[in-house]
Amino acid sequence: MMELTGRVAVVTGAGRGLGRAHALLLASLGAAVVVNDLGGGLDGSGGSAETAESVVAEITLAGGIAVANADSVATSAGGAEIVGTALREFGRVDIVVNNAGTTGGLVGFGDLDDERLMSVLGSHLIGCFNVSRAAWGPMVAQGYGRIVNTTSGVGLFGMGKGVAYAAAKMGIVGLTRSLAVEGEVSGIKVNAIAPIAATRMAGTVFGALDEHLDPARVSPVVAYLAHADCPVTGRVISVGGGRVGEVFLGAARGYFNADLTPDDVRENFDTALDHTDFVLPLDAMDEVGITATMHGLSGI
């Protein structure tokens, strides 16, 4: 059976919904867990330490090890304090699950004011930076780490009235893929989940599917990506209601003409959009390699 005994995990936004389910599972597998949650409203307002503390009480009652933290991930001081709690209380940090965030309410693009935009980018995207940056030094020093970020189908595939949230969530994909490349030499693996679960944030959006979307059906993927056995880095795994499947970014091999003209583009656009012949680049230079091949170069 998979175990995390001796590992120290930080789970952000772990007072409710998905984060709570992740924290409960990681603790039940033996990890010591920092349960972080600002305890605020869905719009990001307010805050209460009780939200994180109630999950710590659940973990402790079940015989697990956990400590609460109520700092916001949206500031670098908050990120440092969240990771600092793990280092102070448990002496190390092996796992960071970046899960916290608020939607700020979904509004049309014309109504997206600065305050709402910064609150959504702050809690999701900047929050991932803040907590991961604080954990990076200790992880590099120990030559080991697992970071599990949380993106969303809204970011990956789009949704009306969700532009700020979608941009934050797709930003997290960029962060995940590039940090994975950087972390490789230090034994740090960085992946992301795109969850689907019935939570406060999701509200009634999933309709009749709700009864199948217990957040606990997402957490097993987080546990595997957080485990030493995790075989991948830089990947995005969609998970919800018991289904698990990778979401991947491909590049069509496309059309090639070294003397490309606008008319040429118009006449051959179907070939450029044809998905039957594609590659799955692992980083940016892999994609540049497609063009290199067409110019007769084998490697760049």
Ligand X SMILES: NC(=O)c1ccc[n+]([C@@H]2O[C@H](COP(=O)([O-])OP(=O)(O)OC[C@H]3O[C@@H](n4cnc5c(N)ncnc54)[C@H](O)[C@@H]3O)[C@@H](O)[C@H]2O)c1
Nearer to ligand X, 193 or 289 (CB): 193
Type and span of the H or E element at 290:
helix 284-294
* Cβ proximity of 252 and 278 under 8 Å: yes
Question: By CB under 6 A, which span of 120-128, 229-237, 247-255, 280-288 interacts with ligand X?
Answer: 120-128
Kindly give the pairing relationship between strand 32-36 and strand 145-150: unpaired
Q: Which of 8, 23, 24, 197 binds ligand X (CB under 6 A)?
A: 197
Count H helices and E strands in the chain, helices first: 10, 10
- Minimum Å gap between C-beta 76 and ligand X is 12
Nearer to ligand X, 42 or 273 (CB): 42
81 CB neighbour count, 10 Å cutoff: 18
Beta strand spans in the chain (E): 8-11, 32-36, 65-69, 95-97, 145-150, 188-196, 236-240, 243-247, 251-252, 278-279
Q: For ligand X, how many residues bind (rule: CB under 6 A)?
A: 34
Q: Which of 102, 130, 191, 238 binds ligand X (CB under 6 A)?
A: 102
- Minimum Å gap between C-beta 82 and ligand X is 8
Kindly give the pairing relationship between strand 145-150 and strand 188-196: parallel
Q: Is 199 in the site for ligand X (CB under 6 A)?
A: yes
Task: Give the integer Cα–Cα distance in Å for 281 and 115.
Answer: 36
Q: Is 101 in the site for ligand X (CB under 6 A)?
A: yes
- Minimum Å gap between C-beta 42 and ligand X is 6
- Minimum Å gap between C-beta 25 and ligand X is 14
Could you tell me which of 185, 193, 188, 198 has the C-alpha nearest to residue 220?
193
Q: Is 149 in the site for ligand X (CB under 6 A)?
A: no
- Torsion angles phi and psi, residue 227, rounded to 5: -90, 155
Q: Is 99 in the site for ligand X (CB under 6 A)?
A: yes
Nearer to ligand X, 37 or 94 (CB): 37
Footprint of ligand X on residues 59-78 (CB under 6 A)? 72-74
Nearer to ligand X, 12 or 191 (CB): 12
- Torsion angles phi and psi, residue 209, rounded to 5: -75, -20
- Minimum Å gap between C-beta 188 and ligand X is 21
Binding mask 7-36 for ligand X (x = CB under 6 A): -----xx-xxxxx----------------x
Residue number of the CB atom closest to ligand X: 17
Q: Which of 10, 26, 35, 100 binds ligand X (CB under 6 A)?
A: 100
Task: Give the integer Cα–Cα distance in Å for 183 and 99.
Answer: 20
Q: Is 119 in the site for ligand X (CB under 6 A)?
A: no
Crossing angle of the two packed helices 127-142 and 76-90, in degrees rounded to 10: 40
Report CA Rg, the chain: 21
Q: Which of 11, 34, 120, 123 binds ligand X (CB under 6 A)?
A: 123
Catalytic sites, residue numbers: 165
Contact set with ligand X (CB under 6 A): 12-13, 15-19, 36-40, 42, 44, 51, 72-74, 99-102, 123-124, 127, 150, 152, 195-197, 199-202
